Amino acid sequence: MMESHAQESRPDLVGRDDERFREQIAFFESVLLEWLEAERVTVACGSWADGGIAELLPRGKATLLPAAYQGCFAGVRELRLDGLEHHLHIDLGRVHQLTYSIAPSVCFAGKPSFEMRLLTTGPGGARTSRWSVSLMLSRPYVGDTLASNELAWFFERARLHVARRPDLVRFEVSPDVLRSERGDQVRICLATTLGLPTDAPWHDALRELDGGPREARDDSSEPRSLELLRDALRFRDASLVIYRERTLVEFQTEKLAGVFKYVEDGHVSWQLGEFQDHHCHLALGAVTRVLFSAEAVPCQGGRLNYTVWFLAPGSCGNPYRSDGYFSVVLNRPYDGDAPRLEIIDQVLSLYRRYRHESWVEADELFLRALGGEADEGPACRA
């Protein structure tokens, strides 16, 4: 099965064969092996948010086969259960963080589960809070009572792994658990494991285990489309458009004060607009292509509408263009029947400036509007 997968395009991980990437995979693999050695573990595949979960019970008899591929597939591992044909493929190269999580679970009739979730990247390598695989305590309860020895093992693993790689491991407790009577029992068990007084508040226990806010990740490389976006946001009489099913948001470019790197608790996003004014946050690292487009649309009386599309792999939820993460579009390229050449030329000039970048494209109508320069620019893609 994996041989065919290895031939697929991976725009989120292309070229990932660097030392940091390999070290990260090795750490995730070591933690996974440590969990799989314990008989107390269930491997859960899927999320109830997506409608279903499959569970594997390795009972300490699982084997994680060594890497079979290189490059962007270096993280692919096959999990085998002794004596069984069924197995699981996990791509540790798609994991960006391990989260030790305590949250209500249908598996325990709404009582908290104790899981280690493998959070995955999304389109363009953007970090997400989603997971497709988690490892959880199989028996955290004896009847209706918390099994303190099981929880102690869970907390010890969390403390150990957070200490080893605070940049890759987090610990979180659902607000529903924090506010519940059951959550108070969990807090006492956590405090005991950490050597704190049993009346230590959640805040103190979590700070002791998780180490508090992280420093920002080393994310010094700027998204390659950043300067092009900054130039596009200087357009006059244009809008930044974010279109999703049943929702369309527009920011007039002349009212956006620029693009700013925004870091909170180690997570990086890009803020468009001043914090004190209307603004939005976008994962610019997810943008893999920029498309200059001209289309005849009803809102312009059947004339050409000029758009700079910022595209990401996979569906972005845009009902008009599935890979359309966001766009910058001219608002009034015409004055009556006459084109406003100084407004339209903003887009044409921006394309001329970036046309030789491998990730910049233009559709056929745009190249025609450009005036016979199609053979000099990148390949035309409608």
- Look at residue 7 in the predicted model and tell me its pLDDT: 39
Judge if 65 and 94 occupy the same domain.
yes
How far apart (Å, rounded) are the C-alpha atoms in residues 279 and 260? 10
What is the arithmetic mean of pLDDT over 1-26? 58
Q: What is the CATH number of the domain that holds 54?
A: 3.40.1570.20
Judge if 233 and 201 occupy the same domain.
no
Sheet of strand 127-137, all strands in order from the earlier edge strand to the far edge: 52-56, 41-47, 127-137, 112-121, 95-104, 169-173
- Look at residue 319 in the predicted model and tell me its pLDDT: 87
Boundary (domain end) residue, out of 182, 210, 238: 210
In the predicted structure, residue 124 carries a pLDDT above the cut 70? no
Boundary (domain end) residue, out of 178, 210, 242: 210
- Look at residue 3 in the predicted model and tell me its pLDDT: 41
Q: What is the pLDDT of residues 200-243, one digit of tens each?
A: 888 888 888 876 444 444 444 678 899 999 999 999 999 999 99
Judge if 288 and 164 occupy the same domain.
no
Residue 252 domain boundaries: 226-376
Type of residue numbered 216: A
In the predicted structure, residue 44 carries a pLDDT above the cut 90? no
Model confidence band, residue 354 (pLDDT cutoffs 50, 70, 90)? very high
**Percent of the chain having pLDDT more than 70?**
86
Residue 171: closest CA among 149, 154, 192:
154
Residue 205: closest CA among 175, 174, 173:
173
Q: Which two tokens stand for residue 82?
A: 């002794």
Boundary (domain end) residue, out of 165, 182, 210: 210
Number of domains in the chain: 2
Mapping DSSP onto H, E and C, the string for the chain reads: CHHHHCCCCCCCCCCCCCHHHHHHHHHHHHHHHHHHCCCCEEEEEEEHHHCEEEEECCCCCEEECCCCCCHHHCCEEEEEECCCCCEEEEEHHHEEEEEEEEEECHHHCCCEEEEEEEEEECHHHCEEEEEEEEEEECCCEECCEECHHHHHHHHHHHHHHHHHCCCCEEEEECHHHHCCHHHHHHHHHHHHHHCCCCCCCHHHHHHHHHCCCCCCCCCCCCCCCHHHHHHHCCCCCEEEEEEECCEEEEEEHHHCCCEEEEEECCEEEEEECCCCCCCEEECHHHCCEEEEEEEECHHHCCCEEEEEEEECCCCCCCCCCCCEEEEEEECCCEECCEECHHHHHHHHHHHHHHCCCCCEEECHHHHHHHCCCHHHCCCECC
Judge if 194 and 314 occupy the same domain.
no
User: Is residue 290, in this structure, part of any structural domain at all?
Assistant: yes
- Look at residue 372 in the predicted model and tell me its pLDDT: 47
Model confidence band, residue 127 (pLDDT cutoffs 50, 70, 90)? confident
Judge if 121 and 18 occupy the same domain.
yes
- Give the phi and the psi of residue 286 in degrees, each rounded to 5: -80, -15
- Look at residue 254 in the predicted model and tell me its pLDDT: 86
Q: What is the CATH number of the domain that holds 307?
A: 3.40.1570.10
- Give the phi and the psi of residue 238 in degrees, each rounded to 5: -140, 170
Contact 280, 310 (CB under 8 A): no
> What is the residue whose two structure tokens read 């102690």?
152
- Look at residue 301 in the predicted model and tell me its pLDDT: 67
Which position has the higher pLDDT, 86 or 211? Answer: 86
Judge if 237 and 301 occupy the same domain.
yes
User: Is residue 220, in this structure, part of any structural domain at all?
Assistant: no
Model confidence band, residue 376 (pLDDT cutoffs 50, 70, 90)? very low
Contact 214, 204 (CB under 8 A): no
In the predicted structure, residue 198 carries a pLDDT above the cut 50? yes
- Look at residue 265 in the predicted model and tell me its pLDDT: 59
User: Is residue 105, in this structure, part of any structural domain at all?
Assistant: yes
- Look at residue 266 in the predicted model and tell me its pLDDT: 59
Mean pLDDT rounded to a whole number for the chain: 82
In the predicted structure, residue 52 carries a pLDDT above the cut 80? no
**Percent of the chain having pLDDT more than 90?**
28
User: Is residue 382, in this structure, part of any structural domain at all?
Assistant: no
Type of residue numbered 265: D
Q: What is the pLDDT of residues 284-328, one digit of tens each?
A: 888 889 999 998 776 766 678 899 999 987 778 888 888 899 999
User: Is residue 325, in this structure, part of any structural domain at all?
Assistant: yes
Q: What is the pLDDT of residues 168-192, one digit of tens each?
A: 998 988 888 888 888 889 999 999 9
Judge if 51 and 193 occupy the same domain.
yes
Model confidence band, residue 267 (pLDDT cutoffs 50, 70, 90)? low
Judge if 21 and 106 occupy the same domain.
yes
Judge if 157 and 184 occupy the same domain.
yes
In the predicted structure, residue 379 carries a pLDDT above the cut 90? no
> What is the residue whose two structure tokens read 């249908």?
106
